[in-house]
Structure formats: structure tokens, C-alpha cells
């Protein structure tokens, strides 16, 4: 019989061996993608973000700086009480890198009441206004219109097929809420722009300009830092429903939209590219508008958030790409960001101007699973 100590030694040996192998694999892969990234950056399309942020938006680095104007904007954080350590880490970075100078407010949302301990620790991290909101139950829980027998069978099938979050109802609730309800919350009605922040993320660079004002002045509606492909098993019928909506509502789709980011065959099929929505800077009035509101209601009626596992990332991305003009979607190249396991590390002048502390070689932008090249191609 194997002794406990022998078992521990064997497990440690396996872990060390895997780490050794993966370190060499990652090193070689990083070199390959660095060459690819450099080639793509020098030649090919010239998307607007390559011109950088105009100097007029940059502000002095002194903490005592007082902005001469601000946008109507807030941070939005959907968290549980148990997320306190992770969201404190994210919020502290937001304060240190940006908000200690610009002093934008925070709105925290939860499907359960926030504890006094949570409120105390969060409020101590900032001088900006902080509000805590309770999500109405009908905005969060699985609707009564969903056939639970069918939904349960779908979850069981996804679990058997190892689909990520395939068996989770709370995850589906979260995806549906972020897709169509967060911007309807009472505490957010007074705001136009939002910056979504999640627990345990990293912000690598000083942001010495106001992204909200950039969005406002340049009439942007959606900003991202990472884009990638969605898991096909989570959205088998999503695009069919999107096409049905477009066919019924062609007037909602401007000619100069970003369909080419979503589809390689002019809309016949979905290439699964989406903006990773755990980081978003966006215009809530765009989500509140007629086109996206009707689009979400159409998707919600199909039940795909529960019969499949539609995520808010593809839903937001499809909505932004279809109903906005392509130049209203902005890649925040200068905001260094990591949400496990992917990160965007600014390159070139954007890296030095932002005083970034990430390794430029560790950058997801042009790796094989990234969709940034699809975004770049919009501006060829």
C-alpha cells in the first residue's frame, strides 16, 4: 500500500515535471507569436487605435490634479460578498492607476444584500462616491417561462461533454443579467457611460487620460482590450436567431457596421469572435436604445441563455458590431489588462507612455486564439 509521504512525493514530481515542460513550450510559443505580432503591427491594416490617444486627453500625474471636465460615468462591479478580497485588489489598482485623479463614482451590484463589512472595506479604498445596489429577483433568476425539464437536460448534457460552466444555473443568470439587465438598475439610471470591473483582474499601466471623455468626444459606444473566439458548444443556435432578427429588422443595421468582425462570409455564419466583456467601457444609452433592447428581448424569448449557455460576451459583441458603426468600437490599446488566463500588454509607445509593468512579450493580441486581427481588418 502506498504511504501518504510516497503519494505526496509522486504528486510533487508530476507537478514539477509539467511545469518544466510547459515552461519550454511557453517560451518557444512566445517567441513565435512575438514575430507574428511584430509583422502584423508593422504591415497591413491601420486601425484608429494605432494613432494613439491625443495629447489633449493626458493630464498631470500629480494626485492633486482636478479635472476641468468629466463625463457622466461610473464604474460597475457585479460581485458577491465572498468576492471581497478579489474586488478590493481590482479596485485598489483602478484607484492607483486612474481614479485617484479622476474620482469617478462606483456602483456595486449583488443579487444578495451587501454586508456591512463589505461596504466598510470597499468605501475605505476611495474618496469617490460609492453606492451598493440589490438586483431585483426578476432581473436575476431563471424566468418562469423556461421549461426546466428541457433546461436541466441541456445542463446535464453539457456537463457530460465538459462544457465550461455547462451545469451552472447561477452562471447563466449572470450572463443573462449582464446581457440585458445591468444597465436597467435603478442606481445606474443617472449615468451614461460605464467601466465594468471584475474581481482578481490586473491593470498594468497608468491611465493618465480619461477614457470616458474619449468615448464621449469621439462618439464611441463600446471599448475593449481583449477579443477571442467563443466556445462553439455554448452557442449552437445563437447565430440562427441573430440572422432571424436581422431579417425582421434590417433598418437597425447600419451599412458601415462591424459585421466583418463577426462573420467571414458576410453574415451567413458566425466565426465566434467576440470582445471579452469582463473588461468593457461602454455607453449604456446604446444598450438602452431601441435596436439593442429589441435584440435582447428577441434572444431572451428563445431561451438560449438556459437551453444552451449563451454568454454576455458574444451577445454584447454581436449587438455592438451590428447596431453601431465600426468606428464607434474602440480598442483600448494603452490599457494593460489581465483576466486569467489572457492579458493585453500595450506595445511600443503605448507601453512606455503608460508606464506599464507587464512584459510586452506576454501579449494575447495576435496569438492564434485572438480576434484582434479581425478587428484590425475592419479598417483595411
pLDDT in tens, 177-231: 999 999 999 999 999 999 999 999 999 999 999 999 999 999 999 999 999 999 9
**Mean of pLDDT values over 25-29:** 34
3-state helix, strand, coil in the chain (%, to 5): 50, 10, 40
Q: How far is CA 310 from CA 148, 300, 302, in A?
A: 16, 10, 11
Nine-digit cell at 322? 451590428
C-alpha cell at 158: 453539457
User: ω into residue 341 within 30 of 0, thus cis?
Assistant: yes
Cα–Cα distance measured from residue 36 to residue 43, given in angstroms and rounded to the nearest whole number: 11
Nearest residue to 342 via CA among 171, 207, 228: 228
pLDDT at 43 over 80: no
Domains for the chain: give ranges and CATH numbers.
66-378 (3.90.550.10)
Query: CA 198 to CA 79: how far, in whole Å?
Result: 8
- The predicted structure's pLDDT at residue 127: 97
Q: What is the mean pLDDT of residues 235-257?
A: 98
Contact between residue 199 and residue 282 where contact means Cβ atoms under 8 Å apart: no
Nearest to 227 by CA among 127, 346, 368, 371: 371
Does the pLDDT value for residue 243 go beyond 50? Answer: yes
Among all residues, which ones are annotated catalytic?
280
Confidence category of residue 276, pLDDT binned at 50, 70, 90: very high
pLDDT at 62: 60
> What span, in angstroms and rounded, lies between the C-alpha atoms of 209 and 68?
12
Q: What is the pLDDT of residues 93-151, one digit of tens each?
A: 999 999 999 999 999 999 999 999 999 999 999 999 999 999 999 999 999 999 999 99
> What pLDDT, in 10s, does the model give residues 306-349?
999 999 999 999 999 999 999 999 999 999 999 999 999 999 99
Quote the CA–CA distance of 39 and 146 in Å, as a whole number: 49
Q: What is the pLDDT of residue 4?
A: 46
Q: Are the C-beta atoms of residues 230 and 314 closer than 8 Å to each other?
A: yes
Phi-psi category of 113—alpha, beta or left, where left has phi over 0 and alpha has psi -120 to 50? beta
The string over 15-49, giving b where at least 16 C-beta atoms fall within 10 Å of a residue's C-beta and e elsewhere, is eeeeeeeeeeeeeeeeeebeeebeeeeeeeeebbb
Work out the mean pLDDT of the chain and round it to a whole number.
89
**Strands 106-110 and 130-134, sheet pairing:** parallel
Is the pLDDT reported for residue 9 higher than 60?
A: no
- 283 sits in which H/E element: strand 280-283
- Model confidence at 28, pLDDT cuts 50, 70, 90, reads very low
List Cβ neighbours of 200 (8 Å cut-off, separation of 6 or more): 86, 89, 90, 339, 340
What radius of gyration do the chain's Cα atoms show? 22
pLDDT of 47: 84
pLDDT band at 46 (very low <50, low <70, confident <90, very high): confident
Amino acid at each position: 500500500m502506498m504511504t501518504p509521504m510516497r503519494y505526496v512525493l509522486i504528486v510533487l514530481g508530476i507537478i514539477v515535471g509539467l511545469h518544466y515542460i510547459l515552461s519550454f513550450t511557453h517560451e518557444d510559443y512566445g517567441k513565435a507569436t512575438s514575430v507574428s505580432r511584430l509583422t502584423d503591427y508593422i504591415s497591413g491594416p491601420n486601425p484608429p487605435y494605432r494613432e494613439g490617444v491625443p495629447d489633449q486627453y493626458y493630464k498631470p500625474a500629480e494626485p492633486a490634479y482636478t479635472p476641468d471636465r468629466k463625463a457622466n460615468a461610473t464604474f460597475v462591479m457585479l460581485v458577491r460578498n465572498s468576492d471581497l478580497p478579489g474586488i478590493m485588489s481590482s479596485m485598489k489598482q483602478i484607484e492607483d492607476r486612474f481614479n485617484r485623479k479622476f474620482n469617478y463614482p462606483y456602483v456595486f451590484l449583488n443579487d444578495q444584500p451587501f454586508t456591512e463589512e463589505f461596504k466598510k472595506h470597499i468605501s475605505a479604498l476611495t474618496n469617490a462616491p460609492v453606492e451598493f445596489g440589490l438586483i431585483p429577483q426578476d432581473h436575476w433568476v431563471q424566468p418562469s417561462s423556461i421549461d426546466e425539464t428541457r433546461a436541466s437536460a441541456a445542463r446535464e448534457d453539457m456537463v457530460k461533454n465538459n462544457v465550461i460552466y455547462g451545469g451552472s444555473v447561477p452562471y447563466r443568470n449572470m450572463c443573462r443579467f449582464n446581457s440585458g439587465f445591468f444597465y436597467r438598475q435603478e442606481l445606474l439610471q443617472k449615468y451614461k457611460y460605464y467601466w465594468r470591473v471584475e474581481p482578481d483582474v490586473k491593470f498594468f499601466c497608468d491611465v493618465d487620460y480619461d477614457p470616458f471623455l474619449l468615448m464621449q468626444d469621439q462618439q464611441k459606444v463600446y471599448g475593449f482590450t481583449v477579443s477571442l473566439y467563443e466556445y462553439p458548444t455554448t452557442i449552437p443556435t445563437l447565430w440562427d436567431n441573430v440572422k432571424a432578427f436581422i431579417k425582421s429588422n434590417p433598418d437597425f443595421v447600419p451599412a458601415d457596421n462591424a459585421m466583418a468582425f463577426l462573420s467571414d462570409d458576410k453574415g451567413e455564419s458566425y466565426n465566434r469572435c467576440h470582445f471579452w466583456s469582463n473588461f468593457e467601457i461602454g455607453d449604456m444609452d446604446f444598450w438602452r436604445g431601441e435596436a439593442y433592447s429589441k435584440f435582447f428581448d428577441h434572444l431572451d424569448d428563445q431561451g438560449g441563455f438556459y437551453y444552451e449557455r449563451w454568454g454576455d460576451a458574444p451577445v454584447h459583441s454581436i449587438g455592438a458590431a451590428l447596431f453601431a458603426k465600426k468606428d464607434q468600437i474602440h480598442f483600448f490599446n494603452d490599457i494593460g489588462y489581465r483576466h486569467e488566463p489572457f492579458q493585453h500588454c500595450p506595445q511600443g509607445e503605448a507601453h512606455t507612455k503608460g508606464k506599464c509593468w507587464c512584459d510586452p512579450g506576454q501579449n494575447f493580441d495576435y496569438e492564434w486564439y485572438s480576434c484582434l486581427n479581425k478587428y484590425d481588418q475592419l479598417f483595411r
